[in-house]
Structure 1
Amino acid sequence: MGNADTSATAAAHMRTLREISGPLARKGDTSPSRAKPAHAPAPIDLGLLDHLEASRAEIVAAVRDANPAAGPAPLDEGIYQWMVDATPQLDEDRRRVHEALAYRQGLEHALRAGEEKVIRRHACPACRTWGLFWSRPAQRAACVNRYCSDAAGRRSTWTLSQLAHHHIATQAERRRTAT
């Protein structure tokens, strides 16, 4: 377990997202009373394209911050392996930050592809029960344990970044204590 596994998972989710994003069917009103558009729709979901570009830019910025001499970044899911290969000199803390970045992006890619079950594979960071689910309106993971709540009595919720950092820290702790 480690940076290579996290990067491979993020790359696999990005690959899946790219594969399902091909020419997407347009959702919306298809009633015959509507006027026909003057031009053809975009061959890919532009929101998805923006998401993939933002993800790539975030990885490139993190790598360039750690290693300004890193070679050119790939344009596909190979960017996660490039991040690992271009930053072998990182200390343990910075390496974990990079792992959490890749892990969070993997979660984001999976959620955009409709795979909300990736959230259920995480224990709640507060109560450690396996009761997390993805709340689309809040854009956060929420715990279903009724005893897991904040001081105001609201259910505990977690951002993808918080889940990623907790997951990576838990993995690091397991590696450290394994003998």
Structure 2
Amino acid sequence: MGQDTAAAAASALRLLNTPELRHHPQHGPQERRAPTSVPAAPVNLGLIDYLEARKREVIDHARTVTTRTEPLPLDDSDLYAWYLRATIGAAEADRRHRDFILARHALEHAIRLGNYNAVRPHPCPTCGGWGLFWDERGNRARCSDLDCRTPDGLASSFTLDRLAAQQVGQTEIWRSSAT
């Protein structure tokens, strides 16, 4: 699970970190703006904040679970490979948390790049069906099964955290029951 998910997250991070995406989009809302008394920032500050927060989360977790880590990679796209190497000897709970972070980042990066099909390979946490789709307005995955509803009659919806936690949990079940 870890290496495939890390490779997907690294690939998406590499795409997100391209100069083309760092420039302001010509349309759509801005996440963070420069003050109006100065010209607009020449880069998309929301994307830079997003990338820095994800990098900081990975680095902080790696340094929390192990005292000996190699130097940070110079290229951001090598960050997840570094993370896997740094946490290889960590406790089981810390490795599960690492896998959760990798799975969540892979989903978040894919959604950020506009790949809304990234939620489709995940089963619905409520009904187990394979009808998840991404709802841009709600910023959540929703189940398309008409029988999978909340008590209020609304479609069941899930955060990327929930899908990532379910993915890690399912992988642990498969590992423990493998012969």
TM-score (norm 2): 0.84
Q: Contact 1:20–1:113 (CA<8 Å) still a contact in 2?
A: no
Change (3 A) 1:38 1:155: closer
Give the corresponding residue for 2:136: 136
CA-CA distance at 1:92 after TM superposition = 2.5
Q: Which has the higher Rg, Structure 1 or Structure 2?
A: 1
Give the corresponding residue for 1:107: 107
CA-CA distance at 1:166 after TM superposition = 0.4
How many residues align structurally?
171
Give the corresponding residue for 1:169: 169
CA-CA distance at 1:46 after TM superposition = 1.6
Q: 1:1-179, aligned counterparts within 5 Å?
A: 2-19=1-18, 21-22=20-21, 24=23, 26-28=25-27, 42-74=41-73, 76-179=76-179
Give the corresponding residue for 1:34: none
CA-CA distance at 1:17 after TM superposition = 1.8
Instruction: Identify the structure with bigger relative contact order (alpha carbons < 8 Å, sequence gap 6+).
Output: 1
Question: Residue type matched to 1:119 in 2?
Answer: V
TM-score (norm 1): 0.84
Residue-by-residue CA offset, 1:30-60 (whole Å, 9 max, x unaligned): xxxxxxx998754432211111101001111
Structure 1, unpaired ranges of 5+: 30-36
Q: Point out the more displaced range, 70-79 or 110-119.
A: 70-79
Q: Contact 2:134–2:140 (CA<8 Å) still a contact in 1?
A: yes
Structure 2, unpaired ranges of 5+: 29-35
Question: Residue type matched to 1:142 in 2?
Answer: R
Q: Contact 1:67–1:87 (CA<8 Å) still a contact in 2?
A: yes
Helix, strand or coil: the match of 2:76?
A: coil
Question: Residue type matched to 1:136 in 2?
Answer: E
> What's the RMSD between the two structures over aligned residues?
2.3
Question: Residue type matched to 1:166 in 2?
Answer: Q
